[in-house]
Amino acid sequence: MALQRTQAFLLLLLLTLLGLGLVQPSYGQDRMYQRFLRQHVDPDETGGNDSYCNLMMQRRKMTSHQCKRFNTFIHEDLWNIRSICSTTNIQCKNGRMNCHEGVVRVTDCRETGSSRAPNCRYRAKAPPQVSR
């Protein structure tokens, strides 16, 4: 009887540890994905001007504690973004290897350099379509 209790306890402990090990990474990945969506995806808009950048940077909480210096909003639906992200990584303009090749509509928002949080001010640059 005591042996069965010990085995049951060990099995429960093992399953708990396995569960924690499997849940932790996916939770972190989900948070990163949600952050990516919040900071970069705006499929319903075309963007393109300073007012858009000022509003969206504030609305998406990138001006609360400090002014995020640069951000790109992607104006595509999630399926198009996912299909591009599933392609092979290529080198980005900043030298990192986490970009993908594809054509998307974007708005680049760059902080003017003279504003302070939470009243950050941005300049927009919206090329018609960009290969990223």
Digit-coded pLDDT (tens) for 11-28: 443 344 444 444 444 667
The whole-number pLDDT of residue 24 equals: 47
Burial class (CB in 10 A: 0-12, 13-18, 19+), 1: exposed
For residues 47 and 32, give the distance between their C-alpha atoms in angstroms, rounded to a whole number.
24
What are the sequence ranges of the domains in the chain? 39-79+105-127
Parallel, antiparallel, or unpaired: how do β-strands 106-111 and 103-104 relate?
unpaired
- Which whole number is the average pLDDT over 59-85? 93
- pLDDT, one tens digit per residue, over 87-130 is 898 998 889 888 888 888 899 999 999 999 999 999 998 665 54
Please check the confidence at residue 29 and state whether its pLDDT lies above 60: yes
Token readout for 4 is 């069965």
For residues 39 and 59, give the distance between their C-alpha atoms in angstroms, rounded to a whole number.
10
The helix (run of H) or strand (run of E) holding residue 7 is helix 2-40
- Residue length of the chain: 132
Please check the confidence at residue 34 and state whether its pLDDT lies above 90: yes
At 7, give phi and psi (nearest 5°).
-65, -45
Confirm or reject CATH 3.10.130.10 for domain 39-79+105-127, answering yes or no.
yes
For residues 67 and 113, give the distance between their C-alpha atoms in angstroms, rounded to a whole number.
9
126/63: higher pLDDT: 63
